[in-house]
A and B are shown apart, each in its own frame.
Chain A
Amino acid sequence: MMSPAALTRRAAPVLACIGLLAVWQIASLVLKNDSFPTAMEAIRAIPDILGDKESLINILASLRRMALGFAVAVLISIPLGLLMGRSRSVAAFFNPLLMVVYPVPKAALMPIIMLWLGVGDITKTLVIFLGVSLPVIYHSFEGAKAVEEKMLWSGAAMGLSPAQRLVRIVLPAALPEILTGCRTGLVLALITMITSEMIARQSGAGNILFNALDMGQYDTVFAMIIIVGAMGICFDAIFERVRARLVRWSEPQFDMPLSFS
């Protein structure tokens, strides 16, 4: 049996969603604007999109690019960040470069990349890759830097080589921080995915959204926003599950209660 407090906590996100939709519904009814459909209208448009083969192919293509961009970015950024965190010379080389790239909105680079690589998958995947890389590099770097020297010494005394120490001590010790970076990266992957499709209009979830906008199908526009938002929430929730499992050893023993109940 769940206690009333636990039940409230579980139900909170659902209640928040319902509340948001209710406010939307009322606002739309009050404003009576053509470009602002009611929540019910938008929700009714969702099955049409998800039932349409063309749309599904588009959404899946988006997700494929997102997955590829995210995976490649993580695979390159984690080792790079860890090396930067443990080696002064590697950090000295890459830090200025990253400092310059960091504040530049990655979507702003798209025109140039499109010029070079066309408007196809490579360009969009590359932009996603760039968007994901920086937070993952940054958090891996910070995580590696914070690894206790004495822990590495203990490993060295057991006979671990520098490379073994990086993989078998720095990587697990920095994992909580790395996964925080990956979580930010995952959301950024979704954002850059939509942004890239907004600029290079050819296919994808972003394309459906902006095509609908051009044609004045506002219920489809809002339905797509709901779909993309729901995808974001799902990915984040799944990732959070995986993360919590991987770093159970580092979580505080008694988690902060979400409310004062």
Chain B
Amino acid sequence: MTAVPARSSEWVRPVTLPEPASAIIEIDRVSQVFQTSARKDHVALSDISLTIEEGAFVSILGPSGCGKSTLLYIVGGFVSPTSGAAKMKGQVITGPGPDRGPVFQEFALFPWKTVLGNVMYGPRQQGVRAAEAEAQSRALIEMVGLKGYENFYPKELSGGMKQRVALARTLAYHPEVLLMDEPFGALDAHTRTRLQNDLLNIWERDRKTVLFVTHSVDEAVFLSDKVVMMSKSPGRIRAVIDIDLPRPRRRTELLLDPRYQKHVVDIERMFDESDEAGPSL
């Protein structure tokens, strides 16, 4: 922190300058080996090092089977790496915690709870009083566009609506990092686009750190500040690309933007070059 004097004509008071973006997650030489049979090992991740800055929207992009979800689960603390370590704010991650909120492709909602019950679950677990948790949850449900569905059960909702509930449920306990595991992967193209737009709108309000796993090049470029490209067998980082497109981003404007198009084409070409993960991406 630095104190600088304001203009001399005014009285001098300390001004806090924004700190330079600091690392919130550090992945340090992480490898993950699964034993598929008695004799064969599958190297899902090989020597991955990556730093994620606070407030950044980072996508991990790669073909299926490149270990990108595994990497996310390691950051979530759901899976322990075979070697290396992931750190959250300098602390080695040893298990899940409310500072890292997952959103899964499978939604993983609690089917015996209503929409409101699902969203309230985290805050209640954290000891927030019922009335307060309910008020916050209702606001969140409205924010994700599900006002009026508070008392519906998950089975009564469409896939897109379920994922909106899952997002609200995770946001409700205020994680510092959102871990999104192909969250829109199970949705149809139209719903997917709408949810991408809505996610960006929500994200632009408070700019939480997001780690977003996807296999869609467009999605990664549209949403992210940074795209981490992975290759498979063994899972390695191929390249990290900064996406310098201005925000707030509008999908319709972006599609016509040559910079956006160039990023998409560049990334697709890079994947085409690699032998394993060619056009099948």
- B260: interface (CB < 8 Å): no
Give A22 Cβ to nearest chain B Cβ, in Å.
43
Pick out which of these stretches binds chain B: A10-18, A101-109, A169-177: A169-177
Select which of A148, A158, A247 is within 8 A of B98 by beta carbon.
Answer: A158
Select which of B104, B111, B112 is within 8 A of A154 by beta carbon.
Answer: B104
Closest A residue to B121 using CB positions: A158
Docked pose: A159 CA to B127 CA in angstroms = 11
- A93: interface (CB < 8 Å): no
Are B95 and A156 in contact, with the CB atoms below 8 A?
yes
- B5: interface (CB < 8 Å): no
Number of A-B residue pairs, CB cutoff 8 Å, is 66
Interface membership of chain A positions 86-110, coded 1 if the CB is closer than 8 angstroms to chain B and 0 otherwise: 0000000000000000000000000
Q: Which residues of B contact A247 (CB under 8 A)?
A: 112
- A261: interface (CB < 8 Å): no
Are B112 and A150 in contact, with the CB atoms below 8 A?
no
Are B112 and A159 in contact, with the CB atoms below 8 A?
no
Are A253 and B155 in contact, with the CB atoms below 8 A?
yes
Are B111 and A157 in contact, with the CB atoms below 8 A?
no
- B236: interface (CB < 8 Å): no
Docked pose: A159 CA to B122 CA in angstroms = 8
Are A150 and B111 in contact, with the CB atoms below 8 A?
no
Q: Which of A147-181 contact B (CB under 8 A)?
A: 148, 150-151, 153-154, 156-160, 169, 172-173, 175
Docked pose: A250 CA to B153 CA in angstroms = 9
How many residues does chain A have at the interface if contact means C-beta atoms less than 8 Å apart? Answer: 20
**A153/B110 contact (C-beta < 8 A), A158-B121, A158-B122, A159-B97 known:** no
Are B96 and A153 in contact, with the CB atoms below 8 A?
yes
Docked pose: A212 CA to B168 CA in angstroms = 67
- B106: interface (CB < 8 Å): yes
Q: Which residues of B contact A160 (CB under 8 A)?
A: 125
Q: Which residues of A contact B81 (CB under 8 A)?
A: none
Closest A residue to B79 using CB positions: A153
Closest B residue to A169 using CB positions: B110
Give B177 Cβ to nearest chain A Cβ, in Å.
11
Select which of A153, A156, A249, A253 is within 8 A of B111 by beta carbon.
Answer: A249
- B102: interface (CB < 8 Å): yes
- B126: interface (CB < 8 Å): yes
Are B104 and A158 in contact, with the CB atoms below 8 A?
no
Are A150 and B104 in contact, with the CB atoms below 8 A?
yes
Q: Give the most central of A158, A173, A247: most B CB within 10 Å.
A: A158
Are B112 and A157 in contact, with the CB atoms below 8 A?
no
24 contacts between A and B (CB under 8 A): A148-B106, A148-B108, A150-B102, A150-B108, A151-B108, A151-B110, A153-B96, A154-B102, A154-B110, A154-B170, A156-B77, A156-B95, A157-B96, A157-B97, A157-B170, A158-B125, A159-B98, A172-B110, A172-B112, A173-B111, A247-B112, A249-B111, A249-B112, A250-B155
Q: State the 5 A-B residue pairs at the shortest beta-carbon distance, nearest first.
A: A150-B108, A156-B96, A158-B122, A172-B112, A150-B104
Q: Which residues of B contact A (CB under 8 A)?
A: 76-78, 95-98, 100-102, 104, 106, 108-113, 121-122, 125-126, 153-156, 169-170, 173, 175
